[in-house]
A and B are shown apart, each in its own frame.
Chain A
Amino acid sequence: MKTISTILTGVTLAATLAGASVPTFAADTIKIGDINSYSGLPSFTEPYRKGWQLALEEINAAGGVNGKKLEVISKDDGGKPADAVTAANELVANDGVVMLVGTFFSNIGLAVSDFANQKKTFFLASEPLTDAITWSKGNRYTFRLRPPNYVQAAMLAEEAAKLPAKKWATIAPNYEYGQSAVAVFKKLLSAKRPDIQWVGEQWPPQGKIDAGAVVAAIAETQPDAILNVTFGPDLVKLVREGNTRGLFKGRTVVSFLTGEPEYLDPLKDETPEGWIVTGYPWDGVKIPEHAAFLKAYQAKYNDYPRMGSVVGYATLKSAAAILAKAKSTDSEKLVDAAEGLGTETPFGKITFRKADHQSTLGTFVGKTALKDGKGVLTDVIYRDGAKYLPPESEVTALRPQN
């Protein structure tokens, strides 16, 4: 009996806490809902938050959007898709946000994009890299900022094809990101260089690499070059073990994301030299828009920007540009405005393609080097995503036909 009343109290409590009242829409602000893995992946999401906070400050200082101030309501998804959907629901149904932005992990990005499609809410996925989000699982309401796996693979495969190496081995985390990165890279490189042989592959579980065994197993296949897709703590273990065991000696390594400060900085004096990587050399970017961003960021936070900072900043700037062009908060109008929209980011001008809702944001490709006991990037070139994405006429076929 007490039981029942307790249950009811619980449910009522849930309702009350959740704010059972009718959502209120303040007339003088436009609310944007942000979801990210703040507790699960703070090394990326802390800079990400700083990035969008800086953008928010700049936008509102310049008078906001359409005469209204922007407001961001930010939620943690705890790294779980189910919690991300709850957060999305709260933002849309309770807080009255006009669009959703954010997410890091591919599965969370997909869960939120599917939610957005179901609820006909605009969603700008900032970070998730899976190709599926704009192609095989793409939908009308979802746009994505960062260059997908395919683009990063295409940039690296282009460099890899120039190498004399014929025998290649791959090391990638055993989940969708690693699998699709390897698959696309293999496909593109083999297309350019039919003479290439794939001699070995290792698939350590994400976060649990047994680096010694993996390094020895790869060394045994005697590749000329290695593709690496691991990142974070796994990368550190791999690099340390590989350095000690001489795996990288006389071999070129091509590596996804390793040049991003989030992953390069922890390597400190163990940074292997000469790896061909995608990344973000924050102090070596020559793009004019970046100089202003860097100055403002360092002035506000007394710290240098990470990749996450740029993503957070560009996400909110893009969101503001979409709202400004739509002159409305209606989802359909936002989608129409975003299709083909050009906007400024710290990496220069980007366009959200009409055919697949993918932005043309690019990334940097360079070589790792060691300088004063720290990892840096040299020979860096910015690669525009537009040049590496499949043409718009082709991608339509990749998307579900409604």
Chain B
Amino acid sequence: MAFLFNQFVTGLASASSLFLAACGLSIIFGVSRIVNFSHGAFYMLGAYVAFTLSEHLAGALGFWSAIALSALIVAALGAVVEIVLLRRVYAAHELLQLLLTFGVTLVVEDVVVLIWGPSDLLGPRAPGFKGALNLFGQPFPTYDLLLIALGPLTLIVIQLLLRRTHWGVLVRAATQDREMVAALGVNQQWLFTSVFTLGIFLAAFGGALELPREAVSHTMDLQIITEVLVVVVIGGLGNVLGTFLAAIIVSELNAFGILIFPKISIVLVFLVMAIVLVVRPWGLLGRPEAASRAASGLQVMRWSPLSVRGRLVLAAGIVAAALLPLIAGNYALTVASEVLIFMLFAASLHLLVGAGGLVSFGHSAYFGLGAYGAALTLKHFGMTAGLAIGPCAGLVSALIFGWFCVRLSGVYFAMLTLAFAQIVWSIAFQWTDVTGGDNGLIGIWPSAWAASAAHFYWLTLALVVLGIAALRVILFSPFGYALRALRDSELRAEAIGLSRHRIQWMAFAAAGTFAALAGALHAFLKGSVFPDDLGIPLSIDALAMVLLGGAGTVSGGVVGAALYKTFSIWVIGETDYSKLVIGTLIIVLVSAFPQGVLGALAAWRNRSSTGERKDLALGEAR
């Protein structure tokens, strides 16, 4: 009994620590709708800065001022990021903020290693909270008690700030109706800056408070970011109390879950999120997102199929690509194959994000299932069967997961796709007998007829061209128009008899199938499959490709993938600080071309062809 109580209180301490890390994210999302991917990075910075300060400030006062000062310093940095970077993209696609903060994360990850070195750092214990006290015969750390108190305290302070101050009233008003608040003469810009700064302050505070508990290392951000995102979503976006509840539920389930299933931690939060979202589509305490008054952020471009001249050029391009093996060496051909594979993968995601307006954070699930499907088939039935079965695996799983996902919308949709992807990932990770666990499946090499780099390149080119062509046919079919109609105005589309669930479900299945084809090709290209092929980083990479190319254009995914993949392969080969370089590039590109590279090209062309500044929203894109 005493033990169970102790475990319960231990769970509360973990919950508090998780809540402190997550509440800032919830506040930022509630107001500015930014999915702040860099939250973990600021959390980590908070811990690093607090570590350095605690080295210089002695005594109890020194320690606590190090924590507070660290949060303030990092918050100031957050304010600068908001003012310099995020402000530039508020008007653009909501996802660009995610991409931008992803870029910031990449940069921070390398910068902390450059500043603080590669070793894990051990901060001091908190003065006055070093030991344990006796809790019904069980030792319990006093610092955990402090955390248990700090969590609810922070919650109360936030609630008071939001409920009882003028600033809080404005923030809540902005949460409900941004345009109205702006129309009433409130300076939204500073409101957003203050909210973002507060959120970052809390992130850094949460990170700094971990100083006495764990090692400060450059992987802290990755350890925390998915967890806090999940907690915020389970609680209901923008609802701080919901976040608190979710943190308690997740932590307690973990504390008791590991007593019965010691291996449960790896998948627990995602299971909880999947169940919660299926039962309550807006999280525990969340409410349906109010539709934005003006279609803010949505840049509707007219999409048109290629002209005759365009088709000729395209055909010439494909012929030229087919001739590449005549001049290129083996390595160049494998790189080209990889780039082609990612073009197809990004194009499949683009069907969801660009045409469907459905943002998936878990598209890698279908890529990876295609890869695993192909690899497992290969062992018994050979490569051709693998290339056929892989996409089928993607289709079937996308039909199953998609059925649940399309019932949701916005970030909840995205997070449910993420939950399914992570569940699949953990199955691949754990089911060692079939998937090889994290050691993966190796020896997945193509059959003799496709073994040479040139042959495999031709095979890839053929399948990728067919795949992308099929996706374009879908885009310009009546089905594709229906999908875009649902994206642009769900109410009107449904009023003319389009069934949202059915159409988006079919799009989800199609996207999953083509992603799986890309995954199957990728397995044979690399000769191996690993749980990485199902992982979050791959999903984020694919989103980055689509957005950098331009989600609002027809070929954004394809072009974005070509640029992003080529560049990242090259950079990783050139420097150990590839994250710094790629992160900076993402930041620059997103700031310079919020509508993506292709979108910017289209806008520029329209402007120059008409000789006057045409409204960007009417730009034509191909």
Residues of A whose CB lies within 8 Å of any CB of B are: 1-8, 10-11, 13-15, 17-23, 38-39, 42-43, 45-46, 75-78, 80-83, 85-87, 89-90, 93-94, 106-107, 110-111, 113-115, 117-118, 130, 132, 137, 174-176, 179, 201-205, 207-208, 210-214, 216-217, 219-220, 232-233, 236-237, 240-241, 244-246, 262, 265-268, 270
Contacts and interface: CB of A to CB of B under 8 A. Distances in A.
Main SS of the interface on chain A?
A: helix
Main SS of the interface on chain B?
A: helix
Contact of A39 (B10, B125, B576): B576
Given A19-B331, A94-B329, A266-B121, A1 B258 contact: no
B316 to A, nearest CB: 8
Given A1-B622, A4-B314, A212-B141, A39 B527 contact: no
A5 B313 contact: yes
Nearest to B597: A6
B410 interface: no
30 contacts: A2-B601, A5-B313, A6-B598, A8-B320, A14-B562, A20-B328, A43-B118, A76-B572, A77-B572, A86-B573, A90-B573, A106-B438, A107-B439, A110-B528, A111-B442, A114-B527, A174-B265, A175-B437, A176-B438, A203-B265, A208-B265, A210-B255, A212-B14, A217-B7, A220-B3, A232-B215, A236-B215, A237-B215, A241-B213, A246-B139
A21 B306 contact: no
A213 B10 contact: yes
Contact of B440 (A38, A111, A205): A111
A216 B119 contact: no
Interface string B505-530: 00000000000000000100011101
Contacts of A38: 576
A240 B214 contact: yes
B377 interface: no
Contacts of B13: 212
Given A81-B528, A81-B532, A107-B438, A213 B254 contact: yes
A175 B605 CA distance: 52
Contacts of A43: 118-120
A385 to B, nearest CB: 22
Contacts of B440: 81, 107, 110-111
A38 B580 CA distance: 13
Contacts of B566: 10-11, 13-14, 17
A240 B11 CA distance: 17
A7 B578 contact: no
B563 interface: yes
Contacts of B445: 118
Given A93-B331, A210-B254, A265-B119, A217 B442 contact: no
A14 B122 contact: no
B324 interface: yes
Interface in B419-457: 429-430, 432, 437-440, 442-443, 445, 453
B220 to A, nearest CB: 8
Contacts of B522: 82
Given A203-B265, A205-B266, A233-B217, 13 more contacts: A6-B559, A10-B562, A42-B113, A82-B532, A85-B527, A203-B266, A208-B265, A210-B258, A213-B14, A217-B258, A217-B259, A244-B131, A268-B122
A87 B572 contact: yes
Contact of B622 (A2, A83, A241, A270): A2
Chain B contact-residue range equals 35 or more
Contacts of B573: 75-76, 86-87, 90
A4 B562 CA distance: 11
Contact of B118 (A42, A90, A244): A42
Q: Which of B10, B14, B132 has the most A CB atoms < 10 Å from its CB? A: B10
Contacts of B310: 1, 4
A252 to B, nearest CB: 19
Given A15-B324, A244-B139, A213 B255 contact: yes
A172 B332 CA distance: 42
B219 interface: yes
A93 B573 CA distance: 14
Interface stretch (B52-60, B241-249, B335-343): B335-343
Q: Which of A11, A14, A83, A106 has the most B CB atoms < 10 Å from its CB? A: A14
Given A10-B566, A245-B141, A82 B622 contact: no
B292 interface: no
Contacts, number: 286
Given A17-B570, A42-B118, A268-B122, A204 B265 contact: yes
B618 interface: no
B322 to A, nearest CB: 11
A18 B528 CA distance: 22
Contacts of A217: 7, 258-259, 262
Contact of B530 (A107, A113, A232, A240): A107
A318 B121 CA distance: 33
B569 interface: yes
Contacts of B10: 212-213, 216
A205 B36 CA distance: 24
A212 B132 CA distance: 12
A82 B25 CA distance: 32
Given A107-B530, A216-B138, A237-B214, A7 B558 contact: yes
Contact of B526 (A85, A233, A268): A85
B255 A14 contact: no
Contacts of A76: 572-573, 575-576, 578
Contacts of A266: 119-122, 215
B526 A18 contact: no
B402 to A, nearest CB: 26
B120 A236 contact: yes
B577 interface: yes
Contacts of A205: 265-266
Q: Which of B212, B214, B575, B576 has the most A CB atoms < 10 Å from its CB? A: B576
Contact of A14 (B214, B307, B339, B559): B339
Given A110-B440, A176-B437, A3 B558 contact: yes
B144 interface: yes
A313 to B, nearest CB: 18
A11 B265 contact: no
Interface in B222-250: 222-223, 227
Q: Which of B118, B131, B338, B429 has the most A CB atoms < 10 Å from its CB? A: B118
A21 B113 contact: no
Contact of A8 (B121, B255, B317): B317
A365 B432 CA distance: 30
Contact of B335 (A18, A214, A219): A18
Contacts of B3: 216, 220
B263 A203 contact: yes
